[in-house]
Structure 1
Amino acid sequence: MSKTALIFWGGWEGHTPARSAAVVGEILTGHGFEVRIEEGTSALADPQLSAIDLIVPVVTMSTIEKPELQNLIAAVSGGSGLAGFHGTMGDSFRNETAYQFMTGGQWVAHPGDIIDYHVDITSDDPIVRGIEGFAYHSEQYYMHVDPSNEVLATTTFGGEHLDFIDGVVMPVVWKRRYGKGRVFFSALGHTADEFSVPQMRTIFERGVLWASRAA
């Protein structure tokens, strides 16, 4: 029996939510998932949400109804996987601290906007194993992060744009547990075009597969 995945998308168009959701759908379909792609958050109210193996938010700067959020949190804590990227998971619902507690972080800044920076692999975890550190051209995310995250990759800020963060080491990729659920996040992926970067795509692909409900 194939695994099931729900991808829900919306919010700020600058993050190409519809296109990004489609790319994620293609990745998961390629691994045999039965995939639903829904616009908005209403699908999270589904009483059967907790039966879904993997939930992928692709939503930025949006709002969510309390019953929808409660149902999502219950599903993940009960064993559904949660995985996502960039602001479409790391800046989905700014007013919802319970959501941020579950995901392990919240975007707060990207000094310099689109810039060249470096991603450093800091773990031998299978999600990043065999990948060397790499150059990246995108928003370098400054985030507020949960110290309980298992960090797999980082980036180091320079002082060119804000001198007081010079040398700050910031998590870029992490995984964590939330109740019985697995949670994966990558700060890479400002638009759907970034899935053409091999390291970004490989890390995300491995991460979503890890996050999916254990057999």
Structure 2
Amino acid sequence: MEPTLESSAKNILPEVNIHIVGRNMLQNQLLLSFLKNEIGADGTYVPTVREASLTGGAENMPTNFLVIDTKDVEIDKLWYEIALWKKEVSGNCYLALFNVEPKLKIEKKAMSMGICGIFYNNTSLHTIAKGVSAVLKGELWYSRESLKRCLLEIRPLLNYNEPHLNTYLTLREVEILTLIASGYGNKAIADHLNISEHTVKTHIYNIYKKLRVSNRLQASLWAAKNLS
């Protein structure tokens, strides 16, 4: 089942570097070429996570996005390489996995490792482009079912400064936070509540500030613990 997050894969960010990681050179070239055309990004392909060399990271520099192929890869070894790599890099970087076997059920571990999205081995190129676009806009790319299932389970594995339960949220902010935790993207939230996307973004900014979180995953974890 494809995620229900809605987003356009066109013209999302002017400066994005896509790094396709994996040993299938032909496949990686094709995927990279497709994402370049759909998103308007620069990019490279490399065999392993450790060989991914990032550019930017400072203000006004490109955003980096690693899309990692999991086909014929030892998953435990991949987690180890990602953990080492994350200790050595800084700056604005997103990670996603593709060619994932659904039966592996790695969503919980992926979330705990800070992976922003998962693309299964039956995911189309157009859906991958749509998902990359959504992640670059600050969304998560997991199915709603897996997101709901994993949120409470991975909460102890994540470390962030959680505000007190008495944090004041308006009724509208609670509505939006609940939808975020259910896997809705900004457009879907706007359509559901009959408000503009700009208004949704303003509410999300205020929610993040009040909860002292920086992304949808952390906000969703807070909601799973405190709004259920």
- Whether TM exceeds 0.5 here: the answer is no
What's the TM-score, normalizing by structure 1?
Answer: 0.41
What's the TM-score, normalizing by structure 2?
Answer: 0.39
- Judging by fraction of residues, say which structure has more strand: 1
- Judging by fraction of residues, say which structure has more helix: 2
